[in-house]
Structure 1
Amino acid sequence: MEVAILAHEQFPDRAKTAVGVLRYGDQDVVAVLDRETAGTTVGDHLPDLEAADVPIVEGVADAPAFDALLIGIAPIGGGFEESWRPDVRGAIERGADVVSGLHYFLNDDAEFAELADEHGVALRDVRDPPADLTVASGTARELDCEIVLTVGTDCSTGKMTTTLELLGAAREAGLDAGFVPTGQTGIMIDGGGIAIDRTISDFAAGATERMLEERADEREYLFVEGQGSIVHPAYSAVTCGIVHGAQPDHLVLCHEAGRDRIHGYESFPIPEPSAIAELCLDLADHVAPTALLGGALNTSGLAPGEAEDAIEAYGSRLGAPAVDPIRNGTDRLIEQL
């Protein structure tokens, strides 16, 4: 499927959905829409991606033909920015589906719903959860597979990236491994999953447990994408729901080098990562005994020498192996399995 990705004024740093699809998705991306960086290519910003030649254009009218428009931005609160409306409208009028991971559902937008019906296209709100979710039964640990969950010191610390890098490394090592997507970007990449942050709180653990049950018979290892942070002033609830629903055997703690404040909530400091690791382990242990597999550190803002020192220091602070999943892979963590 050929897709265009909307990432206006956020690419690449704050367009994690766009970057995730470009890095891990199997879609054929024909263009990225970003008014600020139009005229460049993906490779000018992210030279390590295979999709480096993908052009960045100003809007839908400048993009080659595509089958679907993906909204590649995940803003705080998941709202819809009205400046995106002309591009969404233009995509529908060109006969393309629109895939969104926002809390704002496109199907509830009267203009978009009417246009989609008129042009025979689909609006897919991937954050819309199934209607038949229930509370957890507390049985994930009884599944016949090893469960690895990524947790973080904050949002946007690389939990999805780490999960998918672990998945790829596990498969390369010959392990029978599967992915459990719990957020909009993971769902767009995988084609299935449940956005846990959109479920009723009572059903968050149950939704996580359901996805594990659906995949456990087929896989020996399941890598679960984490969300939020247990110390986040707004998003801790989704973290707790996933931890208790997944009942993981192992945790991997994700952190960004140099970040000491909660993004978007800068009055809240990030505690020492080792303290967060202990907090997550304690939270998990009361439901099912859990171990720290290691740490994943995003060192994208550091020079190579600085990065290696930071990774080593991070591992020492955690008392566990640490890696930068993009800079040097996750083999050290897979070896622990």
Structure 2
Amino acid sequence: MIGDRPDPAPATDDGGDDGPTGIAGDDPVPRSVTTTLDVVGPWSLATSRRFWEGFAPQRLRAARSDSTPEVPARRDPAPDGLDSPATEDSLTTTFLAERTWQSLQAEVTQEGRLARIALHSGDGSPVADPHGAARQVARFLSLDVDAAAWPEIGERDPVIGDLQRRMPGLRPCGFHSPYEAAAWAVLSQRIRITQAAALRDRLIRELGSDRAFPSPQALLEAELDLPGRKAEYLRAVARAALDGVLDGEALRAVAPAAAIAAVGRILGIGPFSAELVVLRGANAPDALPTHEARLAREIAERYGPEASLAEISEAWRPLRTWAAVHLRAGREERTGEISGGSSGR
């Protein structure tokens, strides 16, 4: 259970190249595995993928002038580890699995309300924790959320209803993990986001594996050449990840306020960053960001200068995070604030 929300429909394992999960000859750990998830509520993988490609830090790789030779140029902007699929009904991403810190590739396809998640490692090694990795993919794509109430929220709030029609089936895609969200929060502090994306790309290139973000242990062992106190803060994030403070399932298992408070005790993580880690790293579906200046400006423009976020958001329960993300996505579509690489929040 997540808060008082029902669990999503159970996933099934379809096996992989080595047969069903846990049955691979004499090897109990599969080298690939496919999981099928029944997604409850509206969902369009194509819409969600376009959203993910359009937001920092994902789209900034394509905009950087010092693009890395290891990653071929793409026709569309794509996030780190996101490979452009043949159709908009599939998404392939390389990510760092929580707990095992293994670099994995996931290919996600949509068949109606079903999501099919195929996992394998880039080096051909067994997938150490296929069930945990599949849950992580479902979490960062918001496929694990029961969104049956989402259309009703649009009926209660015409502004959100308009955004739902403009972005049909959008499920907010977050960072691969709270650990990566916290690392991004540190890297992006007090510099332009294009500069932060360049730092992140360099870390991936120099310390990562198979285009995934570096593991916490890799960050702790490396000599980090970063501006200001970013190296110190990034090591604090790495230690917190190894201690389980940034575990996605653990953060989702408690109330968002408690999760934000726990994350906020990490050195270098302030109130804005703590909310980012929980709302977009753990992808908590029903929480309210209170330190986003861009969201506050959008609320004033869409609802009036006297509008109160706390009052307006009551109509968004039980998916307040989703509504806030839709408002931010609509603002970006209209203003291009983030795609222009501007600083600020």
Normalising by structure 1, what TM-score? 0.31
Higher strand share: 1
